[in-house]
């Protein structure tokens, strides 16, 4: 018998879709993958060269538990140059991806029964991190007509004496939308601890993303290298935290993770210092795909009230096809051979929506849209049923 802690973790439905798609591919079915949020670009050459050189130079041993000082200094320089904020290297914790540093953050921040406010829809794994630390995720609905932005007045109604933090994500997964600077300022005033997932920063095509550190010195930032630098498999992320939290977090890092991969940390330094031109090319390509996908999805009848301007997702209203996004996504996979993510993966308020990723080639996106068009033309209706 597994523990109650494990039994409380929900599945990551996009992975169920992906694994079903892989099963179909093994049978010879050609699948267009628009479900997974992973850059399709190769990791930039300067980053790979730095990783190889690091191996040659003997960077194969433990590093400081908070991460190499040179990398933490480079992260601080990046935040100063990008957002005009001052961060001390002693506030930075480097981990093997953003998920481990999210784990240590909540280990240090919340006691049993304490609450963290999250948007609904939200990144599917947020509630599981909070619940695993015996905290309570508190959902605040956000709405299509408002660009899925948090409404500060709605957050205020959910704050209690058990509220420990407000979790924001801008640009957002799954919606691709940004929080305005004004709303971020208002959110900072509602709670002592704002946790800002900034993993999609740098992938903004209209407007400007803002770091929570522009509005508060007493906030937490989660960020990493996977999305912006196409380094998902290299597993490198970081946390910026108020100084008083660093020693407790460091003890968790020492006990559970020891340190991030030394060679990959050297690659991270190269990413921050050398990969700017590569990022600019990837970003321009993403923007072309974004515009094309939005146009095609609208032509196919999907609702997009506020066009997404960041990350690499389009979150569309598909309620005219079905109120059951789980069954709809798997029906599209089975009949159209296109992988998409059901909105229910991201919370109850995501039901009736589908998430499309444009982290795929223009040829794949065009083929996926053509297949989807044929599917809709032949659509006969999906009866609602609970997820399997």
Residue 97's pLDDT is 96
Which residue segments constitute the domains of the chain, with CATH numbers given? Answer: 4-42+277-377 (3.90.1150.10), 45-274 (3.40.640.10)
d(CA 96, CA 101): 8
Residue 370 in 3-state DSSP?
helix
Q: Are 67 and 94 in contact (CB under 8 A)?
A: yes
Element (H, E) at 54: helix 45-56
d(CA 364, CA 296): 13
Per-residue pLDDT of the chain (388 residues; tens, 9 = 90+): 788 888 878 888 999 999 999 999 999 999 999 999 999 999 999 999 999 999 999 999 999 999 999 999 999 999 999 999 999 999 999 999 999 999 999 999 999 999 999 999 999 999 999 999 999 999 999 999 999 999 999 999 999 999 999 999 999 999 999 999 999 999 999 988 999 999 999 999 999 999 999 999 999 999 999 999 999 999 999 999 999 999 999 999 999 999 999 999 999 999 999 999 999 999 999 999 999 999 999 999 999 999 999 999 999 999 999 999 999 999 999 999 999 999 999 999 999 999 999 999 999 999 999 999 999 999 755 554 444 4
- Give the helix ranges, DSSP H, for 218-346: 243-256, 262-274, 276-299, 325-336
Residue 388's pLDDT is 42
Tokens of 238: 């970081």
| Peptide bond between residue 171 and the one before it cis (omega within 30 degrees of 0) | yes
Residue 381's pLDDT is 56
Residue 384's pLDDT is 42
Residue 370 phi, psi (nearest 5): -65, -40
Beta strands in the chain (DSSP E): 32-33, 92-95, 115-120, 136-141, 163-169, 194-197, 220-224, 237-240, 313-317, 338-339, 341-342, 353-357
Residue 387's pLDDT is 43
d(CA 56, CA 284): 34
Residue 354's pLDDT is 98
d(CA 65, CA 100): 13
Residue 374's pLDDT is 96
């Amino acid at each position: 018998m597994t523990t109650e802690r494990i039994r409380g973790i929900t599945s990551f439905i996009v992975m169920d879709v992906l694994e079903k798609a892989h099963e179909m591919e093994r049978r010879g079915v050609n699948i267009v993958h628009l479900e997974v949020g992973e850059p399709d670009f190769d990791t930039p050459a300067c980053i790979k060269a730095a990783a190889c050189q690091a191996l040659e130079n003997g960077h194969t041993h433990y590093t400081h538990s908070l991460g190499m000082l040179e990398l933490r200094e480079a992260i601080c320089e990046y935040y100063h140059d990008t957002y005009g904020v001052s961060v001390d290297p002693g506030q930075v914790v480097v981990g093997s991806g953003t998920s481990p540093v999210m784990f240590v953050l909540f280990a240090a921040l919340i006691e049993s029964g304490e609450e963290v406010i999250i948007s609904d829809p939200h990144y599917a794994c947020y509630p599981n991190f909070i619940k695993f630390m015996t905290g309570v995720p508190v959902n605040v609905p956000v709405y299509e007509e408002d660009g899925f932005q948090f409404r500060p007045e709605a957050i205020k109604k959910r704050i209690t004496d058990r509220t420990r933090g407000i979790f924001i994500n801008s640009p957002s997964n799954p919606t691709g939308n940004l929080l305005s600077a004004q709303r971020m300022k208002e959110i900072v005033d509602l709670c002592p601890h704002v946790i800002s997932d900034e993993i999609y920063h740098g992938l903004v095509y209209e407007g400007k993303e803002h770091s929570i550190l522009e509005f508060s010195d007493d906030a937490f930032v989660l960020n990493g290298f996977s999305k912006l630098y196409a380094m998902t498999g290299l597993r490198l992320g970081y946390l910026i935290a108020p100084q008083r939290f660093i020693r407790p977090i460091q003890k968790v890092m020492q006990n559970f993770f020891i340190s991030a991969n030394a060679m990959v940390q050297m690659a991270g330094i190269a990413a921050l210092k050398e990969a700017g031109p590569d990022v600019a090319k990837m970003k321009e390509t993403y923007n072309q795909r974004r515009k094309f996908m939005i146009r095609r999805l609208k032509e196919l009848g999907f609702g997009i009230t506020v066009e997404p301007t960041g990350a690499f997702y389009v979150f569309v209203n598909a309620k005219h096809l079905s109120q059951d996004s789980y069954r709809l996504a798997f029906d599209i996979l089975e009949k159209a051979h296109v992988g998409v993510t059901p909105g229910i993966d991201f919370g109850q308020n995501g039901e009736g929506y589908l998430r499309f990723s444009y982290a795929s080639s223009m040829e794949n996106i065009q083929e996926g849209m053509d297949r989807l068009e044929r599917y809709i033309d032949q659509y006969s209706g999906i009866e609602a049923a609970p997820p399997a």
